[in-house]
Amino acid sequence: MKALLGTKIGMTQIIGEDGRVTPVTLIQAGPVTVTQVKTVESDGYNAVQVAYGEGKNLSKAVAGHVKSAKVTPKHIREFRVNELPEGLKVGDTIDVNTFELGELVQATGTSKGKGFAGTVKRHNFNTSAKSHGGNGDVRRVGSIGSMYPQKVFKGKRMPGRMGHDQVTVKNLAVAYIDAETNLIGLKGAVPGPRKGLVVIGGKA
């Protein structure tokens, strides 16, 4: 199963033997511990549930659930698979060695929250004219409806909360792996702030 949980460290550069500079995002990835293995026979689908990090003040339900894996996780995620890895059981660990250099993966994180934003910043709207009799408020939203059907349609692009969304970036190449320190470097940018949770999975 090619899936890991990690913490984003930040971006840096790697200089190759040919002198080329590659921008990479470093992630403290894993190791993760298997806390549950679901099968079609018992649960209706195949999945592997893994835990990452050191949590505090776990609820009794969560503590009881992960007791057999002997972990106190901060994050728990489940990954559906077509076929379960042979011999995988509760308590096993998965580390960065599950990936190879040059392999294409996808990274999922929570984008940075920007707070309340207008349509110019949030949706890249144009501003109105700043001269020739303008009303002075060049960033104001234009018409949001019409005479009929006398309502604002759902999904209308308007001011509101910007950012803090789940974002997945695909086709990121694995450019760096350090098994001793559980570091993995992905070519390019990964969504989310530093210390944010990142889910690394095999190419979908």
- pTM, whole model, 2 decimals? 0.83
Encoded tokens for 176: 């760096």
Lowest-confidence range among 87-91, 112-116, 118-122, 133-137?
Answer: 133-137
Q: How far apart are CA 158 and CA 142, in angstroms?
A: 10
Domain with CATH 2.40.30.10 in the chain: 3-114+166-202
Over residues 100-123, the pLDDT tens digits come to: 999 999 999 999 999 999 999 999
CATH class of 3-114+166-202: mainly beta
pLDDT digits (tens, 9 = 90+) for 19-78: 899 999 999 997 999 999 999 999 999 999 999 988 888 899 999 988 888 888 899 999
**pLDDT at 17 (0 to 100):** 85
